[in-house]
């Protein structure tokens, strides 16, 4: 049973608009949540993270929101740029393991 | 500083063959891990190591073997390849735990394996 789920396999947005990527989890023991970005033929790269004791973390155009009661987090990208087109993975840490969701492919159209 | 280096980048095997995917890091990271990426399944943890001489199983360990004799190297062995092991494999390392953002997993570029 997947502990971290990204229910939207793909998302398409217009350049300059907001992109919102969602992630749900089931394990209450997760203490950190991270977002990774992956381009084709490359390894994933770290984007932004949030501690379970916070509800928001911002880094430039990227903001992550955490709703612990709903076991839900989201990544907002504002404004979206064509270079943001990639697969985005949310991940959650408990103990010695980082568990990933299935990924969402974001396409930003010029 | 090369980061995390994986070899080979591509490999085709026949069912039943064995092979080793190599992973090396030059960042003096204590933690190393192997993931496989399959469509719709995201990245699933195969095995991990918190230091030289210590390994443990992840979510999908069956059919794979690992060892950690040095801090730098963490090879992944397929003992008898099966078509279900066709996937893209990623090695990743971090300085320590937890994965807080201040400390994150750094990934290699991946190894694409096809088992016929």
Are residues B13 and B113 in contact, defined by beta-carbon separation less than 8 angstroms? yes
Task: Please give the pLDDT value at position B44.
Answer: 95
Task: Please give the pLDDT value at position B91.
Answer: 98
B21-36: average pLDDT: 96
A11-42 pLDDT per residue, tens: 999 999 999 999 999 999 999 999 999 999 99
d(CA A60, CA B111): 32
Question: For residue A9, which residues of chain B lie inside 8 Å, CB to CB?
Answer: 40
Number of Cβ pairs < 8 A linking chain A and chain B: 71
Between the CA of residue A106 and those of A14, A22, A67, A75, A83, what are the distances in Å?
11, 12, 22, 12, 10
- B25: closest CA of chain A, how far (Å): 14
- B22: closest CA of chain A, how far (Å): 15
Between the CA of residue B22 and those of A28, A104, B45, what are the distances in Å?
35, 29, 16
Task: Please give the pLDDT value at position B2.
Answer: 76
B60-83 pLDDT per residue, tens: 999 999 999 999 999 999 999 999
d(CA A57, CA A54): 8
Interchain pair B109, A31: CB under 8 A? no
Q: Contacts from B16-19 at CB under 8 Å and sequence distance 24+? A: B16/B80, B16/B81, B17/B80, B17/B81, B18/B77, B18/B78, B18/B79, B18/B80, B18/B81, B19/B77, B19/B78, B19/B81
Peptide bond into A81 cis (omega under 30): no
Q: Which of B3, B110, B24 is nearest to B74 (CA)?
A: B24
Task: Please give the pLDDT value at position B1.
Answer: 62
Cβ within 8 Å of residue B40, ≥6 positions away = A9, A102
Q: Which residue has the higher pLDDT, A82 or B102?
A: A82
A63-76: average pLDDT: 97
Name the residue among B48, B100, B108 with its Cβ closest to that of A97.
Answer: B48
Task: Please give the pLDDT value at position B98.
Answer: 80
Interchain pair A32, B41: CB under 8 A? no
Strand extents, DSSP E, A9-103: 10-14, 19-25, 32-38, 45-51, 56-59, 62-67, 72-77, 86-94, 97-100
Q: Give the mutation candidate from A97, A103, A104 for the B interface (greatest B CB count, under 10 A).
A: A97
Cβ within 8 Å of residue B24, ≥6 positions away = B4, B5, B72, B73, B74
* Ordered DSSP codes for A64-84: EEEETTTTEEEEEESS--GGG
pLDDT above 80: residue A1: no
Q: How confident is the model at residue B110 (pLDDT cuts 50, 70, 90)?
A: very high
Name the residue among A50, A51, A89 with its Cβ closest to that of B43.
Answer: A89
Q: How confident is the model at residue B17 (pLDDT cuts 50, 70, 90)?
A: very high
Q: How confident is the model at residue B100 (pLDDT cuts 50, 70, 90)?
A: confident
Interchain pair A43, B90: CB under 8 A? yes
Are residues A101 and A9 in contact, defined by beta-carbon separation less than 8 angstroms? no
Task: Please give the pLDDT value at position B97.
Answer: 83
Task: Please give the pLDDT value at position B101.
Answer: 77
Tokens of residue A91, six digits: 């991940």
Residues of chain B whose beta carbon is less than 8 angstroms from a beta carbon of chain A are 4, 31, 33, 35, 40-45, 48, 50, 56, 58-59, 90, 92, 97-101, 104-110
Q: Which of B5, B14, B19 is nearest to B107 (CA)?
A: B5
């Amino acid at each position: 049973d997947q502990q971290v789920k990204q229910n939207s396999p793909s998302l398409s947005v217009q350049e300059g608009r907001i992109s919102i990527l969602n992630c749900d989890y089931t394990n209450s023991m997760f203490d950190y949540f991270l977002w990774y970005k992956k381009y084709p033929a490359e390894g994933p790269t770290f984007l932004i993270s949030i501690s379970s004791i916070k509800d928001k973390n911002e880094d430039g155009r990227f903001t992550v929101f955490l709703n612990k009661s709903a076991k839900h987090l989201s990544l907002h990208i504002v404004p979206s740029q064509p270079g943001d087109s990639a697969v985005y993975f949310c991940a959650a840490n408990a103990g010695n393991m980082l568990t990933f969701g299935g990924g969402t492919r974001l396409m930003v159209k010029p | 500083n090369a980061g995390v280096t994986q070899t080979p980048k591509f490999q085709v095997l026949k069912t039943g063959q064995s092979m080793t995917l190599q992973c090396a890091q030059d960042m003096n990271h204590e933690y190393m891990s192997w993931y496989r990426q399959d469509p719709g399944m995201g990245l699933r943890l195969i095995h991990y190591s918190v230091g030289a001489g210590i390994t443990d199983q992840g979510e999908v360990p069956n059919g794979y073997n690992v060892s950690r004799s040095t801090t730098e190297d963490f090879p992944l062995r397929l003992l008898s390849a099966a078509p279900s092991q066709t996937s893209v494999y990623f090695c990743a390392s971090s300085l320590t735990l937890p994965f807080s953002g201040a400390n994150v997993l750094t990934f290699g570029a991946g190894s694409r394996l096809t088992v016929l």
